[in-house]
Amino acid sequence: MAKRVMNMYGAKRLLFISSLAALAAALILSTGGSCAQALHNPEMLYRRTAGVSLSNPTTDPADFEQHLQIPILLYHEVGEPFSQWEELFVRTADFEKHMKHLRDEGYSCISMKQLAAHWRQDHPLPSRPIVITFDDGYRGNYTNAYPILKELDMTATIYVVEAALGKDNFLTEEMLLCMNRAGFEVGHHSASHRNLTGLHREDLKEEISRSRTRLQKQMQVPITTFAYPAGNYDDAVLEQVQDAGFLSAVTNRPGLASYHQGLLELDRISIYRRHGLESFKQLLQSHLDK
Ligand SMILES: [Zn+2]
């Protein structure tokens, strides 16, 4: 079902992009080709999910080639399984090995906010940027993962489900705030984690916009990034995420995040319990080699 929605969406998107590419070409002709960024890649400026043109038209287009692709890792829980979804529980010892490997390889953790600022406004990033994300807001993010990340001077983005906050096995508000003060970003993962595709407009607003507003008020932190529950989305979901003003959104589609995907449809690399150090290294390398 999800696949069908995605396929339909892909077809429509192609049509949309081709019409926008034509528009971009017309604009370039009408301005005598003076817009360096549009010449660099017309499609970039008019991807609807990019939402805005890059804000500084005088920026050297070459800057944008520095990090056209950035790995965004997707974890759920770190620790021993307490539900039937065992694959989502990465062993704490494995997680530590993953993180030490990234540090030894010279990766620098950045937030989704930094990634969006880089691609929207050419904000500079450290070398070898990577984003560590956690979906659902499980408690082990704080009790098991956070001490390891803190020790290694690394940070992450935590996508929380509003209804789960404070429940058994999930983060409390205090835990989330503690990590946020240490440089972790809070992202939104819907009000209730239901499948967002096929919902009525009002339900979508509740799941995406209103719950985000409540969460921001409760946490007193800006929330500008969204993760689609189970990676499911369609045109209406995308529109709501864009209308709500999110600067970035992540999917569960496997791959490196790329500027060309649009900032509201970014790929991630899912890490599961089966990933010990060697398979983690292989998985990351396989995406980097593509
Ligand atoms: Zn989730």
Asked, for residue 55, whether it belongs to a domain, the answer is no
73 and 2 in one domain?
no
The pLDDT > 70 percentage for the chain reads 78
Same domain (yes/no): 12, 100: no
Distance 25 CA to ligand 1 centre (A): 39
Is residue 71 within a helix (H) or strand (E), and if so which, with residue range? Answer: none
Same-domain check for residues 232 and 159: yes
For the cut 60, the answer to whether the pLDDT of residue 162 exceeds it is yes
Give a yes or no: residue 247 inside a domain.
yes
Residue 138 falls inside a structural domain: yes
Does residue 249 sit in helix, strand or coil?
Answer: strand
Distance 281 CA to ligand 1 centre (A): 24
The torsion of the CA quartet 119, 204, 87, 180, rounded to 10 degrees, works out to 50
Which tens digits make up the pLDDT trace of 262-286?
A: 999 999 999 999 999 999 999 999 9
Q: Please, which pLDDT band fits residue 43 given cuts at 50, 70 and 90?
A: very low
Expressed in angstroms and rounded, the spacing between residue 230 Cα and the centre of ligand 1 is 5
Question: Which CATH number fits the domain that encloses residue 252?
Answer: 3.20.20.370
Same domain, 18 and 143: no
pLDDT category of residue 8 using cuts at 50, 70 and 90: very low
Closest to 197 in 3D by CA, of 3, 20, 5:
5
CA angle, 63 then 250 then 171, to 5°: 120
Output the CA 76–ligand 1 centroid distance in Å: 8
Query: pLDDT by residue (tens digit) across 84-109?
Result: 999 999 999 999 999 999 999 999 99
> What is the residue-averaged pLDDT of the chain?
83
More confident residue, 18 or 76: 76
Q: What is the pTM of this model?
A: 0.80
User: Are 209 and 243 a contacting pair, CB within 8 Å?
Assistant: yes
Confirm if 122 and 64 have CB atoms less than 8 A apart: yes
pLDDT digits (tens, 9 = 90+) for 201-234: 999 999 999 999 999 999 999 999 999 999 999 9
CA of 47 to the centre of ligand 1 (A): 26
Q: 20 and 88: one domain?
A: no
pLDDT of residue 45 exceeding 70, the answer is no
Q: Do both 234 and 154 map to the same domain? A: yes
Helix 173-181 to helix 211-219 angle (10° resolution) is 70
Instruction: Identify the pLDDT of residue 67.
Output: 84
Question: How many whole angstroms from 94 Cα to the centroid of ligand 1?
Answer: 21
Q: Are residues 80 and 121 in the same domain?
A: yes
The range of the structural domain enclosing residue 228 comes to 69-289
Q: How many domains does the chain have?
A: 2
Residue 253 lies in a domain: yes
Give the Å distance between the CA of 136 and the centre of ligand 1: 5
| 89 and 188 inside one domain | yes
Choice between 29 and 162, residue whose per-residue pLDDT is larger: 162
